Amino acid sequence: MTTHPSGSPASMGRRVAARALDMSLSLALLVVLNGVTVAALLGGGGMELAVVVLALTAVWSAFALWAVLARAALPGQLMLGLHHVDAVTGQRAGGRTFLKYLVQGCTFGLALLITPLTIQSPNRSWFDRLTGVTLVDGKAAGVAPAATSQVAAPPAGWDAEESHLTQVGLPAPASGPSPAPQPGGMIEAVPFGAAQSLTSSAPPAVERPVALPVAPPVAQPAQVVQPAPAVGAPRPVVVLDDGQRIPVDGTVVLGRDPRPSDALGEAALVVVPDQSVSANHLAVGLGPTGPWVMDLRSTNGSSVEQDGAPGSRLAPMVRVPVSPGAVVTLGKRRMTVVAS
């Protein structure tokens, strides 16, 4: 099940309540319109009232069309705080919502039977899957928590300058004043010794002899050392939705046109030929506690579903541990992490 930023997938009870509200309002308006029209015809007058009811019907129809296109919801759904979002991006999808109800209209009322019979996790009907939308509840009591993530300790030889990873694997920027941090940018690597000093108390001042100046050492290219997995732990395998199996013995970079990067070090490059996948989209690696995944600032983003918990979107450049059976989405493609 996927959790979107604007709410959780709507429950069947909320879907039925919204549809009942829509049908009640439409039926009430239809009964009033027919009653006034018949009374006007039989009584030989009252046509002005019939025109007013017709105008109200037109206004209601225009409001319903606006609600679908602009708010991605029928009037009843809008009143209950429900709306449709794109199943991949999580953004409101007015056009797809209009297409969904256009297809339902072609079933001549059978949609009321098809919808409950075809509901699958995460509460999506056949019409939702056909048009690529999800009906979410913006008034849900709580949004499912994101998957627990952690930032791995920097490996030996890590250079803070190498943290400027780019989408296409360009080299680190030249030495000089560090640029101002940008919102949503990558987490800068911190030397392990410096991190320890943040939690330890400062030692008392000790007078030390002044050291003679020494020529600075020649800078060596930074190398990323993959931590060794636990002894006896099974080697994970990534299985793409087209059946391709990729063993994870170190770092693996998946993308439409993956290229090596100094920040990731030596890595296997796997091509995923899909326009929804970025050039360098996702990294998969193996740590002491098991496999992990990390989104490489992809355009369409990545998400993970595991351990029966709702799915969550991956934060860029943050390693997230995954367990066997986890399903990772990159763009419109999916892959599953299994034990070898």
pLDDT tens sequence across 125-174: 888 888 888 888 877 544 444 444 444 445 554 444 444 444 444 444 45
pLDDT in tens, 196-206: 444 445 555 55
The H or E element spanning position 247 is strand 245-247
Span(s) in the chain for CATH 2.60.200.20: 236-339
Q: Give the architecture (CATH level 2) of 236-339.
A: Sandwich (2.60)
- Extract the residue ranges of the chain whose pLDDT is less than 50: 1-3, 141-153, 157-173, 184-200, 222-225
Residue 332: both structure tokens together: 């419109």
**How high is the pLDDT of residue 254?**
93
**How high is the pLDDT of residue 194?**
46
Checking 299-303 for CB contacts under 8 A at 24+ apart, the result is: 300/88, 300/89, 300/276, 300/330, 300/331, 300/332, 301/89, 302/328, 302/329, 302/330, 303/2, 303/328, 303/329
Q: What is the pTM of this model?
A: 0.40
**How high is the pLDDT of residue 117?**
85
Rg of the chain over CA atoms, in angstroms?
A: 28
**How high is the pLDDT of residue 310?**
81
**How high is the pLDDT of residue 281?**
93
**How high is the pLDDT of residue 165?**
47
Residue 300: both structure tokens together: 């369409």
* Dist. CA 163–CA 92, nearest whole Å: 34
The candidate with the shortest Cα–Cα distance to 146, out of 335, 311, 327, 336, is 311
| Amino acid at the residue 177 | P
For residues 238 and 252, the answer to whether their CB atoms sit within 8 Å is: yes
Burial class (CB in 10 A: 0-12, 13-18, 19+), 249: middle
**How high is the pLDDT of residue 277?**
93
**How high is the pLDDT of residue 295?**
93
* Residue where the block lists tokens 């019907």: 57
* Dist. CA 3–CA 305, nearest whole Å: 10
**How high is the pLDDT of residue 215?**
62
